[in-house]
Amino acid sequence: MSRAVTIVDVAKLAGVHFATVSRALNPSTQAQVSPETVRRIQKAAKALGYVPNAVARSLRNNLSMTVGVTIPDLTNPIFPPMIRGIENFLAPRGYTALLANTDGRPGMEQSAISSLLERRVDGLIIATGLDDHVLLPRLFEQGVKVVLANRGGGSVPYPLVTGDDRSGIAMAVDLLKSLGHRRIVHIAGPDNFSTSRTRRDAMIQSCDEAGIACQVVSASALTAEAGEKAMDDVLSQRQSFTAVQASNDLLALGVLRSVRRHRLRCPEDLSVIGFNDMPFSEEFSPGLTTIHVPLEDIGTESARLLFERIQNGKNDSVLVRLPVSLVVRGSTGPAPKKQRV
Amino acid sequence: MSRAVTIVDVAKLAGVHFATVSRALNPSTQAQVSPETVRRIQKAAKALGYVPNAVARSLRNNLSMTVGVTIPDLTNPIFPPMIRGIENFLAPRGYTALLANTDGRPGMEQSAISSLLERRVDGLIIATGLDDHVLLPRLFEQGVKVVLANRGGGSVPYPLVTGDDRSGIAMAVDLLKSLGHRRIVHIAGPDNFSTSRTRRDAMIQSCDEAGIACQVVSASALTAEAGEKAMDDVLSQRQSFTAVQASNDLLALGVLRSVRRHRLRCPEDLSVIGFNDMPFSEEFSPGLTTIHVPLEDIGTESARLLFERIQNGKNDSVLVRLPVSLVVRGSTGPAPKKQRV
DNA sequence: ATGAAAGCGCTAACAG
DNA sequence: CTGTTAGCGCTTTCAT
């Protein structure tokens, strides 16, 4: 690219000092310049195809107008809506999001955050759902603005935005109970995800209170494949149960596949219920009954909290727990009279 | 945040000039500094928690180590894999992607690109699939590095990465023909997307060559809702046909919904075939027969081409047409003897 | 209302 | 091998 046109070029053409160009082109200082001069400068800028250099501005202002967002994996369908929520809030305010995938690996998370910090993001939305790493306290100490999204609270007093997992699980248990189910299997996610633990514990508690027997099985990852494998294992054990509640929809999808392969009918032989209401869970066969989590809202709220903290310099803690709701579709039905499983 | 520690602070602690710190901390110049000094500097840097300032470096080097990526909508499932492909290639090379959603609106695309250019991205991957806007020739003229992904060729000689739409459509027609279908409806996407036009034209040509009657119906958007509505219209016209080929899987999903609502059976009464093999199309009911497009590879290739062009300063044109394949699932079957539609 | 000058943090000549 | 210096493009005092 031939050398970019700068404020100095514009100044020459308009016949003013380059500082005046800066004032004229900046909304907040434009009033300091005479309207006539402003017009002249704008004309010159357009004529030359001037494009402001945000990098130089960032260096000078110590403000990059970017925020970093770390997620485990973009291809996990719960994240695109969250990210849209984040961008919908930030873009109109002049902010751009830098995305980093961590694949759930603490090492990658660390290097991703380092890279974002080097780029001098004004704040961070961490949605990796992993346990507190050593990094977090250090970030807090340094005054780095962070909002934690979609994960459980840790020891560090950063703001936190999640769906209401406990009440979601309670809704699921209620539904199953009202359908006559008395023995449920819970497919839990890996233990190092805070949501996995929260949902599992809530499940045990809700079932306990409802007088329902709950068997917990852990999947090795939050994927359909892991869910399928976990369900295969459960079915091979010939336990008796009439319903499965999975820690997320991807696991539930795996359960559905396993059930189909074992020639069981859902929901006639077995009810299945997920968590998240991820995009397209409606299209599974059968359509997945699940707990709807307002993913886009989680994104929007996280962005709002971060934005506020960047603006006012505070770093105070809040807990935003967004309400969830039950979505009943085809994968749940009355408990079978004669247990087929 | 308390004032960040800079190269100067490190220099003071290590008792050297700050330029030496720069050399010591930079892999490419580290050899110029005595090993002993390097160690001392690294120790000082660690002790102070020094984080290099990429913004300052970018300004100085005129290299931001970022690329801009514009897409219509992250929540369209074909994009996350593409973006992962892009990031998988770029991240190990020190590059970060700035994402911008345009919602398919030329105005938003323009402002997104402006914003990215202000941030001095080193290049742009444009995957909006819209027609050439006025911007493109101007960008080319200015020497801005761009790679066009997943869209048809335009008048501007930028590199281009797509799936092989024509051969994909041919595969779909072949399959339907071999199943005995002789009257097909093609649900086309809006005309301002180049892929819509390519696939529609390929459809007309392939059917022509195969001696198959093809009726084209246009959907108002590339969404399930638009596909459903288009299919409703088709069914209300009582045309005679035994198969539907949709311009993408989202439209096909809408078709499946419409078919279900009209109490027709798929594939017994009607075969449906999509395009893209987007994530979860396998889970639709029935599983969607479709043309697999290597979305992640499209991302990787785009990133590679852009990277090469950033490296060597060239801006030469290439056309990379990635092979596609037919994926047969439950939504296609033999043409019915007695036409039910 | 505008000009002059300093400096954000860094890299890259150029000296020594 | 290390120090000195200039300058990337911009905003912001401080003068005038």
| Predicted pLDDT at A2 | 60
Distance between CA A272 and CA A253 in Å, rounded?
9
Q: CB distance B73–A52 less than 8 Å?
A: no
Identify each DSSP E strand in B5-115 by its residue range. 66-71, 96-101
Place A314 in a pLDDT band, splitting at 50, 70 and 90: confident
Closest residue in chain B to residue A141, using alpha carbons only: B1
| Residue B7 approaches strand C within 7 Å at CB | yes
What's the DSSP call for residue A91? G
Determine which helix (DSSP H) or strand (DSSP E) holds A298, and give its type and residue range. Answer: helix A295-312
**Ranges A137-141, A162-166, A175-179: which has the least confidence:** A137-141
Distance between CA B28 and CA B173 in Å, rounded?
56
| Predicted pLDDT at B223 | 95
| Residue B118 approaches strand D within 7 Å at CB | no
Determine which helix (DSSP H) or strand (DSSP E) holds A66, and give its type and residue range. Answer: strand A66-71
Q: Which nucleotides of D are covered by protein (CB under 7 A)?
A: 1-5, 7-13
Contact yes or no for B153/B161 (Cβ under 8 A): no
Give yes or no for residue A246 having a pLDDT over 60. Answer: yes
- CB of A5 within 8 Å of any CB in chain B? no
Contact yes or no for B99/B69 (Cβ under 8 A): yes
A136 three-state secondary structure: helix
| Predicted pLDDT at A192 | 86
pLDDT (tens digit, 0 to 9) for every residue of chain B, 341 residues total? 467 999 999 999 999 999 999 999 999 999 999 999 999 999 999 999 999 999 999 999 999 999 999 999 999 999 999 999 999 999 999 999 999 999 988 899 999 999 999 999 999 999 988 776 788 899 999 999 999 998 766 778 899 999 999 999 999 999 999 999 999 999 999 998 889 999 999 999 999 999 999 999 999 999 999 999 999 999 999 889 999 999 999 999 999 999 999 999 999 999 999 999 999 999 999 999 999 999 999 999 999 999 999 999 888 999 999 999 999 999 999 999 876 66
Closest residue in chain A to residue B76, using alpha carbons only: A80
| Predicted pLDDT at A238 | 81
Q: Which residues of B touch A285 (CB under 8 A)?
A: 283-286
Share of chain A above pLDDT 70, in %: 98
pTM attached to this predicted model? 0.94
Distance between CA B21 and CA B37 in Å, rounded?
9
Average pLDDT over residues A304-311: 97
Place A339 in a pLDDT band, splitting at 50, 70 and 90: low
**Nucleotide nearest residue B17, measured CA to C1':** D3
Q: Which residues of A touch B118 (CB under 8 A)?
A: 51-54
Determine the distance in angstroms separating the CA of A253 from the nearest CA of chain B, rounded to an integer. Answer: 9
Distance between CA A255 and CA A246 in Å, rounded?
8
Geometric angle at alpha carbon B169, from B165 and B170, rounded to 5°: 115
| Predicted pLDDT at B308 | 96
pLDDT in tens, A249-263: 999 999 999 999 999
| Predicted pLDDT at A341 | 61
A121 three-state secondary structure: coil
| Predicted pLDDT at B61 | 96
Average pLDDT over residues A108-113: 94
| Predicted pLDDT at B340 | 60
- Sheet of A123-126, strand order: A319-322, A160-163, A146-149, A123-126, A66-71, A96-101, B96-101, B66-71, B123-126, B146-149, B160-163, B319-322
Distance between CA B316 and CA B336 in Å, rounded?
51
Which residue has 């109970």 as its token pair? Answer: A177
**Nucleotide nearest residue A20, measured CA to C1':** C2
Tokens of B128: 């909006």
Place A50 in a pLDDT band, splitting at 50, 70 and 90: very high
The alpha helices in A15-118, defined as continuous H runs, are 18-25, 35-48, 54-61, 79-90, 106-118
Contacting residues 244-303/A vs strand D (CB within 7 A): none
Domains of chain A: 7-52 (1.10.260), 62-163+295-322 (3.40.50.2300), 165-293 (3.40.50.2300)
What's the DSSP call for residue A211? T
